[in-house]
Amino acid sequence: MRVSVIGTGYVGLVSGTCFAEIGHDVTCIDIDPKKIAMLEDGKSPIYEPGLEELLHRNIKSKRLTFSTNYDSVKEAKSIFLAVGTPSADDGSANLEYLKAAAVSVAKEMTEGAIIVIKSTVPVGTCEMIKELVANTTDKAFHIVNNPEFLKEGTAVDDFMKPDRVVIGHADQFAADAMSELYAPLVRQGNPIYMMSNLSAEMTKYAANCFLATKISFINEIAKLCDLRGADINEVRDGIGSDKRIGSQFLYPGPGYGGSCFPKDVKALMHTAKESGMTLKVVEATEEVNEEQKKRMFEKIMSYYGDVKGKTFTFWGVAFKANTDDIRETSAITMAKELVKAGAKVNYYDPEAANNFEELMESMDETQGSTFKFENKYDALNNSDGLVTMTEWREFTSPDFEEIKSRLNKSVIFDSRNLYKTGKVLDLGFDYFAIGKRIVK
């Protein structure tokens, strides 16, 4: 099938490349000529394990091409809209990029084309896009909602081996076409769920907000463990083994971030308010998450009392491992709070450091007080504490003697619970984690 994908961000690039990998002819379109030139050279603008290998293979096979214009839309049977829908100031999803892409597609598409909304959009967007396209062209078309459920860091595997595929549609022709498109990915029996467009839009938001809620729940229980002396790792084992609960997304940490959960939580709350109701659980999820981002800062302040003139080292600044994505990362909040209190911040991240450096230099609050390092141990020199912020594998089994020799004071603030409590205490460190029982 000939496929066009509008947008070469995280979702569009992974989706387009993987569609090419399973045999479809794909053109990815973006208005940024620098990004397109980079992609044509086989270089990915984002870090995602396994993605560049697929780019090279499918560019070479000529199943995957890139363009800054919409010419390929004229021959495409399915046209995916995978542009960003960032949060507006009021928390709603900003749909301006989606509207612009839909109008551009409408001007070029062939008769009977299928416009697939891959972007995460509020409930009812399908009707708005349908009306917008109909006002732009006299050609017949179909509207499909096909939300993505990719996890950054494992996106290629998630796409190629999906737990499920969700298709929102209003007619059988579109449903059959989507089944054909995805057929190679569901041969092992993974389901394709066919539903209304509105239900597909709601499914995406409900899924992300539920996962965000699990994270905030375990973080709040971890805080209570701190206060009462229980150990969150033991509690997590005890509840995660219950099949009704499950262990996924029950890892305590510095709060969720990234491109999806923060904006989707806000967008669903906004949609509810437009409908005359309040999503109390979802609002609590966001409130707890914002507090959690400062949790380790509070422990640092409790330990030191005054951090003016001190330096702290972040290991990791990406919002999670295996990505260079720093959107809504807790490291931003932590850096701001420490700098505001008079401290400086060194940081090392194997993939996200350059993105974080650019952001820190652009912010008045942190400018001149945060420093990038190319080596995780060098970042510790003359530092007053190691703060683990991202669960990169290279941080899980470090040389603790090397850490101790570099730090001014042997103290670790472990916001990812990476280390065994007994071991670091036996090595002479002061140790602080999230919800873990610390017995000296």
Active site residues: 260
Residues paired with 113 in a beta bridge: 141
Distance from the Cα of residue 13 to its chain's centroid: 14
- DSSP for 214-279 reads HHHHHHHHHHHHHHHT--HHHHHHHHHTSTTT-STT----S---SSSHHHHHHHHHHHHHHTT---
Q: 108 with 102: CB under 8 angstroms?
A: no
Instruction: List the one residue out of 4, 142, 18 whose CA is nearest residue 82.
Output: 4
Which H helix or E strand runs over 348?
strand 344-348
Side-chain-facing half-sphere of 22: CA atoms under 13 Å: 20
Q: Which residues contact 61 (CB under 8 A, 6 or more apart)?
A: 20
Six-digit token string for 221: 């229980």
Q: 180 with 154: CB under 8 angstroms?
A: no
Residue 12 CA to residue 6 CA, distance in Å, equals: 7
Which H helix or E strand runs over 194?
strand 192-195
Residue 360 CA to residue 374 CA, distance in Å, equals: 16
Rg (CA), the chain: 23
Return the number of other C-beta atoms located less than 10 Å from residue 82's C-beta.
28
